[in-house]
Amino acid sequence: MEAQNYMLAVSSVLVAALTVYSMFYLSRKFSGRNQKNRAVRAVSIIFIGSAGMSVMHLLGLKSLPGTGFAAGKDGFILPLTLYVLTLAGMFYLFSRLRMLLAEREQLKELAYRDSLTSLLNKNGMDHFWDHCKPNEQLAVLFLDLNRFKSINDTLGHHVGDLLLQAVGTTLSQFSSKGKRHIFRIGGDEFVIIAKRCGRKEAEQLALRILEKTTRNYRLEKHELFVSASIGITMSHGKIDRQKLLKEADSAMYNAKQLGSGRYSVYKEENATPAKAGNSVSLLHSGVTSSNVLDHKRSSMRA
């Protein structure tokens, strides 16, 4: 019986060592930022950790029956020690799993966040689309800063980055968990996606965003008046991510043609085409009174 207990103890230690080694090996092998690799790593680690803990637990229990106090004080100490060590090993593996999962969440956060503005990035947008309900009612707002390239080229990329950070901070105020998501998809282009949002609500949201972003920015020694343009589109039926982004982008360029600090709503007309050979028309609305925006611009030039 004593020899059997020693064998069980050695077996339990070997299982623990093999389990920990396998988990660390998988952590190194699938350490890339690819989403598929991270998913494979997490599932494999959980499976191996659970299997290892189960085997260790069974070995610990197997060493106890028949030993009892009747087997003498010395015959009871080894199985009890083995069982305690098995439980300690289980808790250790659980703690390692929690640390690994926490690390995975941190990497996920880094992969889905824009380093400059802390808003969600393109990866975050892809994750949103992948988990969006097929027929979810969405409003997609495509925002672009006016004269950003000129500012970037004239005053330098550092000032451009400061402007993007300021705009990102402003836009983050409109984020609402589970309802509105803000993305920076590149350069000075931002996308706001609102769930369960009708056209009227989307236009009101665009007005609020433009009122907050079309303003005076103080960036170090520079003081700039910057406006934005927004294109809006609504989802109808099954969601087509590429179509929605293309429509919102098209509406945004139309808003730019109408003047700075405006938004434009994309609307597809099935009955009467707006132009010959084109069945698409763009309806627009100003941000606030255009006189207010003109007054702001005049005051900045003075």
- Which member of 126, 188, 249, 294 is catalytic? 188
Torsion angle of the four alpha carbons 268, 213, 184, 139, in this order, in degrees rounded to the nearest 10: -30
Chain-centroid distance of CA 84 in Å reads 42
Cα-based distances in Å from 228 to 59, 254, 301: 67, 13, 18
Q: Which two tokens stand for residue 81?
A: 């020690």
Bridge partners of 93?
Answer: none
Can 188 be counted among the known catalytic residues?
yes
Cα-based distances in Å from 35 to 19, 40, 104, 109: 24, 9, 10, 12
| Axis-axis angle for helices 122-130, 73-112 (nearest 10) | 110
Cα-based distances in Å from 284 to 35, 241, 266: 40, 23, 8
Cβ count near 254 (within 10 Å): 20
Catalytic residue numbers? 188
